[in-house]
């Protein structure tokens, strides 16, 4: 169709809609409609066959919004227009939308006609609001859900609830709470309200609503997926895909608040290597810069780090209250560069803490202040005059990275811990939110602060090099942050059994927002309940159970606040129950690395998920819809963390005591309907749809593998790349057909984006007991051209648990061409 005919067609179509008796004020657009109702201008537009944007503004107001979250532009989508009674209809073939132009109601249906969601009649409200001298609105948007509909999402909350129905939550990012105005329904759709101001979420029998403190428009996206995986694929399509982390990030990380010198940090790496306990990452937490007035100078100015103890010019930077004589003398490691190089020589990697705020002594404080890019309210640490910077300002982001690069990255630093990206806000006052940012008041953009903080670091490092993948650990988050290689953890949670259990629900809801990487401080951060000492035997039990769970989190990282030190050797020695259990699960994590790395590739390539609430794989099983104790790790492992104390107790003085450990405790495990399950530790097969009592001695966390699974079992190593995967054991769990794709690449650069990787797909025909290994796809420099696969069909006593040696059913040499194995 030429341009003249196309324009004429659109004009005629618009005229036909405008003359309809139903839609007098409706104007048709290429992929939607515009109309006026209830004093609002409304636009309904298909972004794709499964994504619909609804955009509302008060009449006669202009709002040229540029979203911080949405990166997708509307793709060409054929739309069919029509009428249904008093409603105007729009259909893409996958989603039908019905609009009542009199009441403002908007109804979303799937292609079969099943109602998904209703934008409530008269449910949008704009209330004039003075936003720090700028005319704006409080924006309220209300919806109707089915009575028994289960919804998830809203980020990461500390309520312990999986189902987010029937509650009121104030969505404003803070330590331990990641707040996203996003819900994911068990019916197979999601709703994202594109507003970054503090927002009150309310759900009751009358309605579900999002009431945002400030905005110029009501702007939301309906995302239809049909199932949870489809929803998450839609979220990633809309907000960005998650890049691949380097392999070494998926090993074990050790951290403490804090290592106080390069010697102390390097000695930890040495101890792990001497003990033959695997380790890939070590983290330098805060105050390497010195005192609080010099907060986050992005320089190593603490005299312990630059061999300047005793030098008056540098002693002023020594952190407040720190013993000036501790570890005094000639250090083994004399500079930050030597520290980083030493870690690398030990085949480990190092991350460093960088904050989103600056102390008044720092050059960065002065630079940001002159740019008017400081947010003037109290942040951590208290009473030090520290102020957050404005990450919404592109020049401020440039300055921020330039200082990081010059003083830290160029020394060889591997990864970044972007702490306090809410940011911390002390002594909160209403007027604090009037603080101006580059994009308006702080109130207007508050919840997007972590998104923009991570954006600045990710984009700048990507621009500098493609040889080192970006890895960001950050305490807060917002929708879309996955595209910046951002990994969040659940914040500074207290070491307590009930708190540990709440983290499961927090992680499940966060994952269902479509952001794949998340973990917790293993053992909790604040060990107040245990007198802040690792010597408390009751803490040993809690830490052991939390640590076991960590082996099945996307990133495995042990961390606690001072004075608690949680390195493995703080829990005794070989033969001691806590030490042995910690060592066992560290080794287990490394044996699972081929599985974990391949799952990571699925996250990147197919919008997959590491943490999979059971509703993702068993939506028809009503018992799992509100399950807050279990989840799938990837598509094969059912994980049930032990969240109760079974072997220790505490007295009123908080001293820990052992119970009788010969009496083995038990915990409930629900095995979902629709599958058979193999006990990972014993190989026993059990039918789904039942709750069992699993014995859980201190070194056993319940782990089950779904029948119809193929699991690669990696070599025993001390760090992730110590040995090639040229002699892999492959465990087959029979009872159903199975498929698994083994992914490999160069492990730490972006060549995979150019196609430099390989995949090997294995398929199990359960009826014929035949395993087919397909032709290897792809190539990369240094890839394995020849290898050996050793196959084990799991049964009781064979191919179970963490055993290192086993009788193979068959071994084959593989040279990249199809192999068929009868087992």
- Per-residue model confidence as pLDDT tens digits over 772-797: 999 999 999 999 999 999 999 999 99
**What is the CATH topology of the domain spanning 709-822?**
Immunoglobulin-like (2.60.40)
pLDDT at 16: 39
Q: Mean of the pLDDT values across residues 695-720?
A: 98
* Residue 186 near residue 221 (C-beta atoms within 8 A): no
Instruction: Return the residue matching tokens 């300047």.
Output: 308
Rounded to the nearest 10 degrees, the angle between the axes of helix 537-550 and helix 497-511 is 10
pLDDT at 14: 42
Does 166 have pLDDT greater than 60? yes
Does 463 have pLDDT greater than 90? yes
The whole-angstrom separation of Cα 436 and Cα 452 is 16
Taking the model in full, what pTM does it have? 0.96
- Per-residue model confidence as pLDDT tens digits over 598-637: 999 999 999 999 999 999 999 999 999 999 999 999 999 9
| 774 secondary structure, DSSP code | P
Q: Mean of the pLDDT values across residues 437-457?
A: 98
pLDDT at 12: 36
3-state SS class at 272: helix
Q: Which residues are catalytic?
A: 419, 422, 492
Instruction: Name the nearest CA neighbour of 296 among 453, 437, 502.
Output: 453
Instruction: Return the residue matching tokens 């005319």.
Output: 135
Instruction: Name the nearest CA neighbour of 336 among 295, 314, 303.
Output: 303
Does 203 have pLDDT greater than 90? yes
- Kind and range of the H or E run holding 345: helix 336-345
pLDDT at 5: 37
Does 739 have pLDDT greater than 80? yes
Average pLDDT, the chain: 95
pLDDT at 329: 67
Indicate the pLDDT class of residue 22, thresholds 50, 70 and 90: low
3-state SS class at 691: strand
Does 724 have pLDDT greater than 90? yes
Which residues, other chains included, contact 4 with Cβ-Cβ below 8 Å and sequence gap of 6+? none
The whole-angstrom separation of Cα 490 and Cα 504 is 10
- Per-residue model confidence as pLDDT tens digits over 344-395: 999 999 999 999 999 999 999 999 999 999 999 999 999 999 999 999 999 9
pLDDT at 23: 56
- Per-residue model confidence as pLDDT tens digits over 676-689: 999 999 999 999 99
pLDDT at 328: 60
Q: Mean of the pLDDT values across residues 90-99?
A: 98
The whole-angstrom separation of Cα 459 and Cα 240 is 14
* Intrachain domains 279-484 and 709-822 with the same fold: no
Q: Where are the domains of the chain?
A: 3-187+189-224, 279-484, 709-822
- Per-residue model confidence as pLDDT tens digits over 233-292: 999 999 999 999 999 999 999 999 999 999 999 999 999 999 999 999 999 999 999 999
- Alpha helical stretches, state H, 356-448: 363-370, 394-407, 442-445
Using a pLDDT cut of 70, give the percent of the chain over it. 97
Does 54 have pLDDT greater than 50? yes
Task: Provide CATH code, domain 279-484.
Answer: 3.20.20.80
pLDDT at 60: 84
3-state SS class at 489: strand
Indicate the pLDDT class of residue 564, thresholds 50, 70 and 90: confident
- Per-residue model confidence as pLDDT tens digits over 570-585: 999 999 999 999 999 9
**What is the CATH topology of the domain spanning 3-187+189-224?**
Immunoglobulin-like (2.60.40)
pLDDT at 139: 98
């Amino acid at each position: 169709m030429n341009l003249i005919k196309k324009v004429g067609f659109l004009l005629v179509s618009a005229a036909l809609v405008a003359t309809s008796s139903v839609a007098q004020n409706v104007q048709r657009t290429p992929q939607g409609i515009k109309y006026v109702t209830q004093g609002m201008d409304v636009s309904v537009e298909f972004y794709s066959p499964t994504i619909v944007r609804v955009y509302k503004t008060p009449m006669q107001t202009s709002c040229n919004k540029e979203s911080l979250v949405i990166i997708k532009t509307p793709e060409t989508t054929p739309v069919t227009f029509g009428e249904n009674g008093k409603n105007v209809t729009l259909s893409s073939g996958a989603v039908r939308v019905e609009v009542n132009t009199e009441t403002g109601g908007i109804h979303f249906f799937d292609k079969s006609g099943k109602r998904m969601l209703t934008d409530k009649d008269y449910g949008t409200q704009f209330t004039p609001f003075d936003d720090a001298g700028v005319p704006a609105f409080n924006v309220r948007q209300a919806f109707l859900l089915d009575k028994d509909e289960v919804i998830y999402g809203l980020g990461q909350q500390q309520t312990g609830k999986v189902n987010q129905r029937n509650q009121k939550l104030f969505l404003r990012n803070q330590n331990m709470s990641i707040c996203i105005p996003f819900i994911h329904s068990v019916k197979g759709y999601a709703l994202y309200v594109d507003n970054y101001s503090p927002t009150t979420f309310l759900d009751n029998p009358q309605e579900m609503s999002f009431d945002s403190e400030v905005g110029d428009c009501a702007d939301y996206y309906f995302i239809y997926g049909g199932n949870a995986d489809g929803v998450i694929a839609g979220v990633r399509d809309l907000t960005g895909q998650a890049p691949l982390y380097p392999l070494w990030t998926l090993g074990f990380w050790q951290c403490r608040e804090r290592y106080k010198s390069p010697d102390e940090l390097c000695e930890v790496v040495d101890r792990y290597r001497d003990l033959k306990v695997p380790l890939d990452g070590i983290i330098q937490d805060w105050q390497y810069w010195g005192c609080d007035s010099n907060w986050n100078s992005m320089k190593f100015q603490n005299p312990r780090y630059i061999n300047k103890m005793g030098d008056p010019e540098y002693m002023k930077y020594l952190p407040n209250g720190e013993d000036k004589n501790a570890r005094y003398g000639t250090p083994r490691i004399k500079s930050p560069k030597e520290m980083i190089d030493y870690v690398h020589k030990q085949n480990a990697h190092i991350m460093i803490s960088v904050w989103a705020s600056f102390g008044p002594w720092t050059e960065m404080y002065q630079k940001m202040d002159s740019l008017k890019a400081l947010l003037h309210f109290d942040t951590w640490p208290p009473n030090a005059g520290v102020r957050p910077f404005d990450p919404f300002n592109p020049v401020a982001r440039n300055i921020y990275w330039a200082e990081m690069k010059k003083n830290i990255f160029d020394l060889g630093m591997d990864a970044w811990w972007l702490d306090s990206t809410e940011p911390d806000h002390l002594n909160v006052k209403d007027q604090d939110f009037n603080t101006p940012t580059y994009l308006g008041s702080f109130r207007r953009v508050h919840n997007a602060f972590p998104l923009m903080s991570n954006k600045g670091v990710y984009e700048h490092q990507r621009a500098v090099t493609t040889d080192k993948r970006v890895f960001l650990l950050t305490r807060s988050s917002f929708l879309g942050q996955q595209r910046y290689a951002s990994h969040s953890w659940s914040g500074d949670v207290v070491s307590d059994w009930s708190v540990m259990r709440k983290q499961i629900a927090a992680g499940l809801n966060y994952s269902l927002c479509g952001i794949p990487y998340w973990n917790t401080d293993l053992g909790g951060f604040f060990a107040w309940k245990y007198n802040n000492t690792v010597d408390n035997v009751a803490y040993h039990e809690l830490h052991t159970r939390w640590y076991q769970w960590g082996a099945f989190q996307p990133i495995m990282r042990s961390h606690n606040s001072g004075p608690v030190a949680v390195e493995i050797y703080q829990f005794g020695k070989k033969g001691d129950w806590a030490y042995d259990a910690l060592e066992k699960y560290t080794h287990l994590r490394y044996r699972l690395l081929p599985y974990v790395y391949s799952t990571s590739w699925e996250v990147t390539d197919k919008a997959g998920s590491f943490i999979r609430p059971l509703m993702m794989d068993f939506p028809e099983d009503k018992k799992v819809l509100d399950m807050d104790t279990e989840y799938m790790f990837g598509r094969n492992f059912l994980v049930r963390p032990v969240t109760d104390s079974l072997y220790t107790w505490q007295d009123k003085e908080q001293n820990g005591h052992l119970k009788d450990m010969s009496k083995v405790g038990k915990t409930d495990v629900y095995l979902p309907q629709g599958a058979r399950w193999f006990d990972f530790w014993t190989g026993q097969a059990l039918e789904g749809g039942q709750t069992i009592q699993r014995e859980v001695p201190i070194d056993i966390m319940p782990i089950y593998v779904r029948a119809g699974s193929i699991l690669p079992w990696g070599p025993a190593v001390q760090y992730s790349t110590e040995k090639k995967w040229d002699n892999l054991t492959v465990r087959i769990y029979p009872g159903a057909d199975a498929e698994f794709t083994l992914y490999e690449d160069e492990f730490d650069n972006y060549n995979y984006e150019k196609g430099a990787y390989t995949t090997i797909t294995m398929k199990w025909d359960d009826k014929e007991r035949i395993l087919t290994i397909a032709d290897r796809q792809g190539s990369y420099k240094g890839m394995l051209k020849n290898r050996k696969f050793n196959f084990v069909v799991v049964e009781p006593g064979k191919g179970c648990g963490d055993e290192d040696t086993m009788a193979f059913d068959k071994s084959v040499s593989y040279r990249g061409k199809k192999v068929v194995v009868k087992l």
